[in-house]
Structure 1
């Protein structure tokens, strides 16, 4: 007898639908023709044991007990799912082979593996376990997956990585939350001071950004534009490029702070000849953006529809499980397996008949184009989020579901449109001994950008995360149209110089979109230069599956608040960050740990190399907490009651 163990009931039913009939449905499992059985977990049906499971004395929160580090880790069944665990236990004993059908990610791998371990499954059955990876719940896709089973042992590193993450979160959260809640009580703070390996550095980002904005002082800086005429009276503008001699009058961002210096340049260049020093023409090509993973989808949905990360994930789960319109949504991958390309023609044809806003774009798509998204080397257990072969025709989709589905479809269709091509011309000039420059971009082929409403003049859709003006004063202005035909050494005329006075701008407050972007590209916020060099642009805090929950948790615990789209820290959040050592509130340490967790999954390092440094750091942090009273929390009230204190019954 084969036993299929799915992550959740909806996945179990989808698997059963693809297996032989007749079938009998029972409470908690489905009996397949021939005697095979499909059963399921209900998410994690096991959880890390509480500290008092290791020792009764840990029921009381005391500093002298910390840090609590289990010698032998324990899992316990969740109360609500004990009956389902009993069903799995029964069939694990009876079966001859187990097929692991957890979701195609690290958590899905661990979720079933930990049940197998907890139930003491024999080594013979473990060795023969197969892995079923399903990212599309539609019948044809499930049948294809059933024909592509792989040995489960190939995916153990994913499980080990998820296990290390789970235990690290327990160690860090349990110990530091207890330590700072106890210490907070000494200054009158009566709430739980929740500290987390990932959540607290995220809170630190918001607190530090708010502080940077509050302490920001705007200052003027100056630019000079030259208004140039050709002999045929064609006009364009060029921007002054300050020389090294001007460095004493500039700030660290390369902006000129001396108005007198800029005014002097304006006076010198007015009504003066200009000479073309150099012309560079380049044809530039911008390929379509890759299909979405969860974070990039959440970021775009926040920008376009003001949806928070948790809402986007909930809508995606509905599109995946209820409607079966998209592939597995909790993906951190933006690439697709090469064999998936063979389905593109039928998917695009279906979208063209869907009678939705994107249908016309689907009809214009060229499915002979194969973008760089199809790359087996970039795909692990799961792939990018894309539409399935199922048509949305006749389905009753909510407004939010239509919006999110439309984003996923548009990103997929972009793979079948040609590149965006533009001609870039850069001109360098000399006027009265000073250097000036200008650049113009002219679109030659709109390509995939026809699908997107906002088209950047610069051939790029990147946002300036830091906010404010450009970093460098050496940037040349971008011409909206093409430049006149020019040649090197051409003699031109500068009619006049123009002084532009601007003000430096503070960084922008975090929003759902920019906070998610910070979590997924954390190296931009890491202070340690050596660590920054190690981290990749894609290294982040948390996982695709957990980021939305972490952000929402900070709101529920009263550390963050929303004002429209803006996210701010509350007094409690500010006080907690002020009480903690810097290493807990900046992303450096956690980013390094996250990179190590990724390396475990990729078999580049091992479990011990992650857990041992974490435990050493934990001892250090508990010593710091014990020797400092958090005065930054004095006078701050909390809406979250301490979990470690039992309320006394009122006297009669």
Structure 2
């Protein structure tokens, strides 16, 4: 029996071969093993969807009358330069008695190899016998464990169907809407390509609407009042809580808009008795943050190091494939399987040798502890990103790779420390009939914060007091009568929303439920992972920059005039995340076999047809009138015109 392993990438193929019988004999496009088995690989996607004119030559020209484009029988073609590797795999399939699918352990990886096996004419009988190899760690020992635990590939068919639906839906939506809005933009004199996509456009919409909110913002003055209450250990600062009678002088957020009202209350409480109505003190534990998913890692790296999502992904991919120092990086999971807990000793020792700054954290770790991250029920095809047990290779790391490794390693070490413990105090006073509250919070035991070292105070996980008085409060008992010396008024101004940064835009994409308009959908989205996938979000953001719809101003991300014009021209359903989020929910339902492919695609085609009809009769978008296309978009358009004169096809949209 001859086995053929089909990996997603050459690096994964080499890792599989290294865990199988020697000697290895390397050939063009595959490796032959000592027992006669072969390992081959894709190079990412070997296949791609046909362009519209591959289905009908009339689509070489962009015409509104030809929309919507629909596909009765989907077809794939070899990507440019990939025909040779496809031929290698096809020949190897002929001589293999068993096929092992070794794509990456995610939706895209499942489809990527499945579609190659199918495209090369593998019979239904043979496809039913394909095995699935799931690898999240490229070190030899981890690969050997995975090889000993092959699964039936048919068990992952729903994952492949979901990825197929996503790919085809993206093609239909993007091709049709990009052509329609580009043609509509031409009515206004805009000669660039107006690219529309189910994820990229709602992401652009987030930035455009944030920019508009900032531009339209008018600051409003408001006032706060603190009572300064005498105490032997130092004054207590307690914030006034206006009563219902003050509502006419407050905004919807409860802010006091009348300085005279604040001055009146300040006068009333001066030199008055402060009666303690409530006095509570308690210790509150705070569990360690979970290990990283890719998005969580990208957000932290953007905040701490100013790295873009694409830079973080590139570093993580190199740490995984090149250095083999971390597990599979394109993970959307923040949990670990119970069985992985037994590997903690080897992993923590490796951390101490690779990231020497974390040695004290390694030495203080209690490997008998088991945090909430070890939870089989919450681990899907892949687990959280963590270090591997490989103990060498630090010298070869770039500065950014070392930073990303330290973040991942530190987050893992936190799982072997007890919860941090905070002392919280809350005092409620009555002064001259008014209610005043003081709160205090103090770190009592650092717990998992110990591995943070000198950076302990700048963590986003650091709890923040919800009032100006964050100092430790003195011991006061209910019923105690103290003395209010005076009131202190603070002049404040409302502030506009903050511009998006790389980190906050990623947070918005992953927590997209906050931005949808449909209340019912908001509830659904609390359980989902937002727009796009872990693997695509960085690319979507970069794509919007490349297409000239977004630009950077320091750390801030803002929309260009073209980006603003496109969003203003689009119907709300295309630029808000509701529709895209609904798609994501349905695609996940496919994975869990609660939804099927055909109804999803049929509904999508009807929706696209309705949008095209609206665009067909729409007036030229005023927002795009007089705008120059971004340089890259103009070049793309000019080259497209040149190709059309030669009878060649329009470039992908």
Q: CA deviation at 1:458?
A: 11
Matched with 1:57 is 58
1:517-542 CA-to-partner distances (Å, cap 9, x unmatched) read: 11111011112212112211543111
Greater per-residue helix proportion: 2
Pair 1:646-2:637 in alignment: no
Q: CA deviation at 1:462?
A: 7.3
User: Superposed, which structure 2 residues align to 1:60-99 within 5 Å?
Assistant: 60-99=61-100
Number of aligned residue pairs: 638
The 1:274–1:328 alpha-carbon spacing in structure 2 relative to 1, beyond 3 Å, is same
Contact 2:355–2:394 under 8 Å retained in 1: no
Q: CA deviation at 1:12?
A: 0.5
Contact 2:353–2:392 under 8 Å retained in 1: no
Of residues 547, 566, 586 in structure 2, which corresponds to 1:557?
A: 547
How far apart, in 1, do the equivalents of 2:559 and 2:164 lie? 31
Contact 1:291–1:408 under 8 Å retained in 2: yes
Q: CA deviation at 1:455?
A: 4.6
The 1:234–1:558 alpha-carbon spacing in structure 2 relative to 1, beyond 3 Å, is closer
How far apart, in 2, do the equivalents of 1:647 and 1:156 lie? 40
**3-state SS, counterpart of residue 321 of structure 1:** helix
User: Superposed, which structure 2 residues align to 1:253-652 within 5 Å?
Assistant: 253-354=253-354, 356-393=356-393, 395-452=395-452, 453-455=454-456, 460-461=461-462, 476-481=467-472, 483-536=473-526, 538-628=528-618, 629-638=620-629, 639=631, 640-641=633-634, 642=637, 644-646=640-642
The 1:370–1:325 alpha-carbon spacing in structure 2 relative to 1, beyond 3 Å, is same
Contact 2:238–2:469 under 8 Å retained in 1: no
Contact 1:187–1:633 under 8 Å retained in 2: yes
**3-state SS, counterpart of residue 196 of structure 1:** coil
Q: CA deviation at 1:280?
A: 2.2
Q: CA deviation at 1:646?
A: 2.9
How far apart, in 1, do the equivalents of 2:373 and 2:594 lie? 25
1:438-466 CA-to-partner distances (Å, cap 9, x unmatched) read: 11112221111123355569995479xxx
How far apart, in 2, do the equivalents of 1:181 and 1:19 lie? 53
Contact 1:335–1:373 under 8 Å retained in 2: yes
Q: CA deviation at 1:608?
A: 2.8
**3-state SS, counterpart of residue 70 of structure 1:** coil
Q: CA deviation at 1:589?
A: 1.2
The 1:187–1:457 alpha-carbon spacing in structure 2 relative to 1, beyond 3 Å, is closer
How far apart, in 1, do the equivalents of 2:325 and 2:388 lie? 5
1:95-151 CA-to-partner distances (Å, cap 9, x unmatched) read: 111110000111000000111121221222212111101111111111111011111
Q: CA deviation at 1:282?
A: 2.3
Matched with 2:651 is none
Contact 1:422–1:459 under 8 Å retained in 2: no
Contact 1:220–1:257 under 8 Å retained in 2: yes
Structure 2 residue runs of 5 or longer lacking an equivalent are: 647-653
The 1:333–1:182 alpha-carbon spacing in structure 2 relative to 1, beyond 3 Å, is same
RMSD: 1.9
TM-score, normalised relative to structure 1: 0.95
TM-score, normalised relative to structure 2: 0.95
Q: CA deviation at 1:193?
A: 0.6
Contact 1:437–1:476 under 8 Å retained in 2: no
**3-state SS, counterpart of residue 642 of structure 2:** coil
How far apart, in 2, do the equivalents of 1:113 and 1:5 lie? 10
How far apart, in 1, do the equivalents of 2:428 and 2:492 lie? 24
Matched with 1:466 is none
